[in-house]
Structure 1
């Protein structure tokens, strides 16, 4: 059983993408840990567009104050739920994600994620798994699941999901390609100034 099954077994929405990478699971997991979604140029552009209404309304500062995260959405908005060696890592997120400011609820840890059950909100879990297909070849898979706490959340999130899903899928495929490039190059270093997506 995968970690994501433990943290979000019930869900209404799911998206999954995979890529076979010529490396071993430890190297693939190291690349996953070194990668940040913000490194993908398409992700940065999509987030800028997504946050435009919030910025125009001057809500960035209030979001930062409320969630304790940076104003621009990225990996820091997620809570690390658990890592299973080089096989899988899972992250969680909760809130009213369709709102201009994401309506994010601060989740301190895995226990808080499991316990979260506030009406009108959703819980989102994303994982990365590394499965060895043969020596030197690893299938890297990322899966996203969304659980709507109640009918109100389901109604609100459904329209949002179908609006963002095409771009969301493209972003995830770009992420996997960036991870594969990192593996191929052996460049497992901080991405603070290393925008590998610029070559994609």
Structure 2
């Protein structure tokens, strides 16, 4: 499926097998919104914090969700002033990681046994969104990943929605709009 958002995620991973998108309308300029995205901590998103804590990740109250936690999940890809973009590569079948940066592997690797992952947090037209895309390089890898995706998707969705609401609450406090 081709991407439609015009984001850097479209450039990095224009097609996918698995996708999840969450959006919320927020007040503020691009600079204000992205500053809030970088600054929002786990203490501001208690539902997200509780869910992610189940994975035994470090969700200390003062840790910033996007800047500290999400950026530790993969390579941060330069994406302009309105988007944070992360990429990762996994191999559920213990296929050796191909050579190159994660960005190079995601955009150019077609070897079987690889999962390419892209995730962003983006502000455009008054809407803050987060999108995750996963592309398997072969049918076997896609089939083996599908049960995991369906298992974690609900909790991941709750986590993302909680994170977006926390960022919006911070913006409402800082910008003063409802």
- The TM-score range, normalised by the shorter chain, is 0.7 to 0.9
Of 144, 148, 154 in structure 1, the residue corresponding to residue 142 of structure 2 is 154
Q: Which residue of 2 aligns with 1:127?
A: 120
- What aligned pairs does 1:13-162 form with structure 2 within 5 A after superposition? 13-35=18-40, 40-50=45-55, 74-85=70-81, 87-96=82-91, 108=101, 110-132=103-125, 138-162=126-150
Task: Name structure 2 gaps, 5 residues minimum.
Answer: 1-5, 58-68
Question: C-alpha separation between the residues in 2 aligned to 1:38 and 1:75?
Answer: 18
Distance 1:39-1:22 versus aligned 2 partners, 3 A rule? closer
Find the aligned partners of 2:111 and 2:52 in 1 and give their Cα distance. 26
Assess, with a 3 A threshold, how the Cα gap between structure 1 residues 131 and 45 changes in structure 2: closer, same or farther: same
| Aligned length in residues | 158
Long gaps (5+) in structure 1? 53-72, 133-137, 188-200
Instruction: Flag as ranges the 4+ runs of structure 1 deviating above 6 A.
Output: 104-107
How far has the Cα of 1:183 moved from its partner?
Answer: 1.7
Q: Kindly tell me: are residues 127 and 74 of structure 1, through their superposed partners in 2, closer, same or farther at Cα, counting changes over 3 Å?
A: closer
Normalized against structure 2, the TM-score is what?
Answer: 0.73
What do residues 21-51 of structure 1 show as CA deviations (whole Å, max 9, x unaligned)? 1212211111112246797443443344345
Distance 1:180 1:11 in 2: 28
Decide whether aligned partners of structure 1 residues 19 and 168 sit closer, same or farther in structure 2, where only a CA change above 3 A counts.
same
> Retained in 2: the 8 A contact 1:130–1:139?
yes
Aligned mates of 1:168, 1:79 — CA distance in 2: 20
Q: TM-score, normalised by structure 1?
A: 0.66
Relative to structure 1, is the Cα distance of residues 97 and 76 closer, same or farther in structure 2, using a 3 angstrom cutoff? farther
> How far apart in 1 are the matches of 2:158 and 2:93?
19
Q: 1:82 to 1:169 in 2, by over 3 A?
A: same
Q: What do the CA deviations read for 1:60-108 (whole angstroms, capped 9, x no partner)?
A: xxxxxxxxxxxxx7531221112212x2221111114799xxxx99984
Q: Which of 11, 14, 32 is 2:16 aligned to?
A: 11
